[in-house]
Structure 1
Amino acid sequence: MGALTAIGPVSIDMYLPAFPSIATGLNATHSQVERTLAIYLIGMSVAQLAYGPLADRYGRKPPLYGALSLYIVASAGCAIAPNIEVLTASRLLQAMGGAAGMVISRAVVRDHYDTQEAARALSMLMLIMGVAPILAPLIGGQVLALTGWRGIFVLITVSAIILLWTVSRVMVESLRPDRVIPLSWSSILHNYSQLIRNGKFVAFAMSGAMGSATMFGYIVSSPRLFIDYYGISSQSYGLLFGLNALCLITGSQVSARMLKKYRPVQLLPWALRAMMLAGLSALGLTLSGSVTLTILMGCMMAFMFCQGFVGPNSAAMALSEQGNRLGSASALLGTFTIASGACAGFLVSLASETGPLPMALILGGCTTLSWLIGGIARRRP
């Protein structure tokens, strides 16, 4: 399940060090190369909606076979792309294949565990989500130095082939026959309309999505802020990026331990308040002109620690009591998460301000929204 969950961050982060090389190799602009990342996020956001109903009808394994096969072919297409247009199209197909891993891994967790145990299991998956962004750029950079940018996609292709073989040999089908839903346009629309009208599901899903939006805003704005504005080296930037990911990992594992004693609904209020405090501190100090790199990093690390609580616990609460709509619920949850992050990243990229204000606005605004929406979720029957 961890490997399936890691498909998303690995596909996003591993090729980031190769952006200049891709631009040179394909005679493309940097904006065109950056667009391949935006296309990937859009494809992953939309494709998740298809895998939910498929997983509820055909089980968890069959959709994975098709999705991973598509992911393998698309990754190979990225490796041999003769121009930026083919690379962009291949990245879109790669996202459509990779989206299944995130949807089905969450559904499998809920198939096996109740809400509290699911939150603990999702915290372990958050560990993978935290480690992947640290290791992926480092591995990508080494592969880039040894083989060039195409070698990164060759490595992704080979890894996906191994993952497909592992799924076929190790993974056990977890969908019970009594929870199978007939597949039709009417049933798909009915399930999603029921979920959208489920205020508790939407509120918990969006509360977690606002935390993810903050992370994407940070990912987009941090290179320009830390390297161009504060003037730190690329190596130091990598260290700061790793420290934030380490805080996310630590938070998720502390959450997993605390879930042995407390329920997710008990942990969420405290985590949301602390997360908002970190965000508003960053915004207030930035607006007052007294923020420094050290202070900003402290606020960001505190946010990441809290997100390690908020992410898995809000997901577990959103997926609770979904019954035979679990696959669709997991898909819609993923769409909310990726779409919110893509919007936040897009807004940050539009800012002409090179200082800390764009990041601080996202940090303060999204964490406040997460707290407000989380409060609404807890009051829903």
Structure 2
Amino acid sequence: MALLLGGLAMFGPFSIDTIFPAFPQMGAQLAADKLAMQQTIAVYLIAYALMSLVHGPLSDAIGRRRVILVGLVVFAGASAGCALSMDLTTLLWFRALQGLSAGVGLIVGRAVIRDVLHGNDAQRLMSQVSMIFGIAPAIAPVIGGWILGWSAWPVIFWFLVAFSVVLWFATLVFLPETHPKPARLPLRGSSLLRDYVAIFLNPRFQRLAAAGTFNFGALFLYIASAPAFVLDLLHLDERSFAWFFVPMIGGMMLGAFTSGRIAGKVDGATQVRIGFACCGLAAALNIAYNLIVAAPTVPWAVLPMMLNSFGIALVFPILTLAILDMYPRQRGSASSLQAFTGLVSNAVIAGVLSPLLSHHALHLALGAAAFSLLGWAIWRWERSVNARMPDCAPNQVGELEPTERL
């Protein structure tokens, strides 16, 4: 289950990071400058965010497995369209279609985890999936660079087609339906809108979602700025993205592993506090380094991101499970709205903030620190209102026990 859900969560990041090394080649062939190429990320994320509002409710109504299978088919077709694009406009349309389908693995997968497990077991599985998911941003640009070494940029999108086909067959064979018919909700526009409004207007949901979103924003600012950071600021070539992504994702995987190991031994609030402390220390070290040196160099320029990603991996599973446990019969909708919140933020970062800040390493460090500080401040606000993290909600009447669903 962890391997499959981790793989399903990977093809979203693969869609973003695999093409980073190809930006210069794609821009030259499609007559697009750096700012225009940056929009291939923003368009993808906007579509991802909008459709993320639909994936979860669909899975609540018709089942998790069916939504994932259809999403993978659409993603494979969109990736093929990107590979065949001959101009930037066509590429952007198919990137948007990729974004519309890419969220099924991550968003519905979170609901699957909470369908089958609860409490410390859910935290462990969430952490295991995060470890596997964390591999994607590290190896995706490396794969993209290798592909460019022997072929052209469209082959990167053909690789995504092959990856999604493999996931489709794996899902068909190995993923059981975890959301049984007695627990499903009717798919009606009025009730869906009412549920979304109720969830979104819940002050506790807003605080938990915002704390996680802004905390991750510190890292995503660097991810969205990776082409400029690696190629222009660190003066590395298109095959050297591993210098940035491997330490960053290594920290995330170590944090996810640590979260799984301490589940049941350290309470959730303490784990989140430790995670934010790591993020704050990383921000301080990053700013100090960029104030001292005239030009950033590896490995020192990327080590603060490693610590930052470690802290984020400690914070994320606790906040996510807390959100899902607020709505035991609407986990898909809650997961969708949480994802939408993060994706809108990421789209703004990729489309607006990254082009503004990625020309100077110090500006990136200050921007990332602001996100970490804002996430921590909102978490402190949540703790002042709720003195303790609630226990996992029991199953509702009519739901199967986790072991029965397996």
Q: Does TM-score exceed 0.5, indicating one fold?
A: yes
Indicate whether 1:323 and 2:328 are aligned: yes
Give the alignment partner of residue 305 of structure 1, picking from 271, 295, 310: 310
Displacement, 1:352?
Answer: 6.2
TM-score normalised to the size of structure 1? 0.92
1:202–1:179: structure 2 CA closer, same or farther, 3 Å change rule? Answer: farther
Q: Which residue pairs with 1:3 in the alignment?
A: 7
Percentage of identical aligned residues: 28
Question: 2:271 and 2:169 mapped to 1: Cα distance?
Answer: 38
- Paired AA for residue 349 in structure 1: S
Whether contact under 8 Å (1:52, 1:330) holds in the other structure is: yes
TM-score normalised to the size of structure 2? 0.86
Q: Which residue pairs with 1:249 in the alignment?
A: 253
Q: Which residue pairs with 1:356 in the alignment?
A: 361
Cα deviation code 1:177-208 (max 9, x no counterpart): 33211111111111111111222222122111
Superposition RMSD on alpha carbons, in Å? 2.4
Aligned residues: 381
Give the alignment partner of residue 350 of structure 2, picking from 331, 345, 352: 345
Question: 1:296 and 1:29 mapped to 2: Cα distance?
Answer: 26
> SS where residue 351 of structure 1 aligns?
helix
What does residue range 7-18 of structure 1 map to in structure 2 within 5 Å?
A: 7-18=11-22
1:157–1:280: structure 2 CA closer, same or farther, 3 Å change rule? Answer: same
Indicate whether 1:122 and 2:122 are aligned: no
Displacement, 1:33?
Answer: 2.8
Q: Which residue pairs with 2:337 in the alignment?
A: 332
1:53–1:153: structure 2 CA closer, same or farther, 3 Å change rule? Answer: same
Q: Which runs of 5+ in 1 are unaligned?
A: none
Indicate whether 1:221 and 2:221 are aligned: no
- Paired AA for residue 195 in structure 2: N
1:268–1:352: structure 2 CA closer, same or farther, 3 Å change rule? Answer: closer
What does residue range 1-381 of structure 1 map to in structure 2 within 5 Å?
A: 1-225=5-229, 227-232=231-236, 238-283=242-287, 296-351=301-356, 354-381=359-386
Cα deviation code 1:51-84 (max 9, x no counterpart): 1111111110122222112111111111212322
Q: Which runs of 5+ in 2 are unaligned?
A: 387-406
Cα deviation code 1:306-357 (max 9, x no counterpart): 1111122221222123111100011111111222222233443342673322
- Paired AA for residue 53 in structure 2: L
Higher helix share: 1
Displacement, 1:295?
Answer: 5.8
Question: 1:152 and 1:135 mapped to 2: Cα distance?
Answer: 13
> SS where residue 103 of structure 2 aligns?
helix
Question: 1:65 and 1:355 mapped to 2: Cα distance?
Answer: 42
1:266–1:37: structure 2 CA closer, same or farther, 3 Å change rule? Answer: same
Whether contact under 8 Å (1:215, 1:341) holds in the other structure is: no
1:248–1:322: structure 2 CA closer, same or farther, 3 Å change rule? Answer: same
1:15–1:233: structure 2 CA closer, same or farther, 3 Å change rule? Answer: closer
Displacement, 1:362?
Answer: 1.9
Displacement, 1:12?
Answer: 0.7
